[in-house]
Copies of this chain bind each other. A is one copy, B any other.
Amino acid sequence: MADGPTITTIAERAGVSIASVSRVLNGLPTRQETVRKVMAAADELGYVRNAVARSLKSRRTHQVAFAMADVGNPAYLAMLREIQPVLKAAGYRLVLHSTDAVVADEIDVLHSLGERYVDGLIMSPLRVTEQHLEMLAAARAPVVIIGSVPEGTRADNVRADSRTGVRLAIDHLYALGRRRIGMINGPLDTVPGAARGAAYREALADLGLPYDEDLVRIGDFYRAEGGRAVAELLDRVPDVDALMCANDLIALGALDVLRAAGKRVPADVAVVGMDDTDLAAASWPALTSVSLGSAERGKAAAELLLDRLQGGDREPRVVTVPPRLVVRASTAGTAGAGTVHDDAGRTERKEGGA
């Protein structure tokens, strides 16, 4: 035992085969009794089995990181729910970062890839800066970006298509006969705010509807402020007949204010949210919402990363997940009392993708 305990000495002490010791130490399925004997022998001999030492040999950590902007945001949580099981099934542990969408934090995460504590990274930045691109070019491990990146970026990329999403919603409202369709947006200096605002304007133009500034109000992405923006819009355009809201929280604020104003939803005003969070089905009337496919994007990102980890070098790939409109009572249902929604409370009617 000059060199300290080995699997041979542990096998002797435990009274089991060397193969059994190897199985236990590598975490392979083994009878509980054998596990106990081997662990006890290893303890007695002072054996330190160490993932760290093992990964020094293989240069693999069997860990993958997911850097999400905000651990409290349902859209990212929907991604996480899909990423976690895909990685687990492939034998990877998940390291979770929350960057609060602070660029310096995101750069730190990319920088830390040099420490080799993970084999790869999935990242969801709100904005991709020059600094991101530099760090991506120098990254020491494969990175998949969820979000839009400039042409030629050296990273696999999974995109949503909020423009088509807004378009699906406006077309739906138009098909229902609505012609005074308002937009309640978040700040225009955010990526989602700018994209959704532009998409609204385009969709109206394509339908031959005039763009009316009084029909557009800007708040933030939360319920109370969204409600206040709706109240303002109602003051200016009392006969507004539909509201496109830039996310579900804003749409909940819209329902609050419309209820207070004695407006029926959808008879007087139809309401559409965006992101299709769990809140959409919980509200009453249940909220029609544009799904940007958070779950699908998470799954696609995990699969791209695994493919890269297993397959090695190839050209970067771009996957675009098409949006879909989940139609519920706030636009098309029977809004009065009397309807028991089935299952998760959804009266789902899916309309085509991109």
Q: Once the chains are docked, how many angstroms separate the CA of A256 from the CA of B85?
A: 32
Contact residues in B for A61 (Cβ distance below 8 Å): 52
Choose one: B84, B96, B108; the contact of A27 (CB below 8 Å): B108
Given contacts A227-B340, A260-B337, A284-B283, contact A117 B85 (CB under 8 A): no
Q: Which A residues from 48 to 78 make CB contacts under 8 A with B?
A: 48-56, 61, 63, 71-72, 74, 77
Given contacts A111-B35, A283-B282, contact A52 B49 (CB under 8 A): no
Query: What is the total number of residues of chain A having a CB less than 8 Å from a CB of chain B?
Result: 70
Contact B345 A256 (CB under 8 A): yes
Stoichiometry, copies per complex: 2
Choose one: B49, B256, B279, B338; the contact of A279 (CB below 8 Å): B279
Contact residues in B for A131 (Cβ distance below 8 Å): 32
**Most chain B C-beta atoms within 10 Å of own C-beta, residue among A74, A98, A108, A222:** A98
Q: Once the chains are docked, how many angstroms separate the CA of A27 from the CA of B282?
A: 44
Given contacts A262-B337, A344-B224, contact A51 B117 (CB under 8 A): yes
Instruction: Determine whether A343 belongs to the interface, using a CB cutoff of 8 Å to chain B.
Output: yes
Choose one: B35, B74, B116; the contact of A51 (CB below 8 Å): B116
Given contacts A61-B52, A282-B279, contact A252 B114 (CB under 8 A): no
By secondary structure, the A interface counts as helix
- Which among A87-95, A174-182, A199-207 touches the partner chain? A87-95
Contact residues in B for A53 (Cβ distance below 8 Å): 56
Chain B: minimal CB distance from A141 (Å): 12
Contact residues in B for A116 (Cβ distance below 8 Å): 48-52
Instruction: Determine whether A240 belongs to the interface, using a CB cutoff of 8 Å to chain B.
Output: no
Contact residues in B for A25 (Cβ distance below 8 Å): 114
Given contacts A115-B50, A278-B279, contact A93 B97 (CB under 8 A): yes
Contact B93 A88 (CB under 8 A): no
Instruction: Determine whether A80 belongs to the interface, using a CB cutoff of 8 Å to chain B.
Output: yes
Q: Once the chains are docked, how many angstroms separate the CA of A16 from the CA of B80?
A: 41
Top 10 A-B pairs, shortest CB-CB distance: A51-B115, A51-B117, A284-B284, A279-B282, A282-B282, A260-B340, A96-B96, A94-B96, A50-B116, A259-B337
Q: A52-B55, A52-B116, A84-B98 are in contact. List 4 more A-B contacts (CB 8 A).
A: A42-B114, A85-B98, A223-B344, A255-B284
Show 20 residue pairs from A and B whose CB-CB distance is below 8 angstroms, ordered by the A residue: A27-B108, A36-B134, A39-B114, A39-B138, A42-B114, A49-B116, A50-B56, A51-B117, A52-B116, A54-B115, A77-B77, A84-B96, A85-B98, A95-B95, A222-B344, A223-B345, A227-B340, A278-B278, A279-B282, A282-B282
Chain A interfacial positions (CB closer than 8 Å to B): 25, 27, 32, 35-36, 39, 42-43, 48-56, 61, 63, 71-72, 74, 77, 80-81, 84-85, 88, 93-98, 108, 111-112, 114-117, 131, 134, 138, 222-224, 227, 252-253, 255-257, 259-260, 262, 278-279, 282-284, 337-345
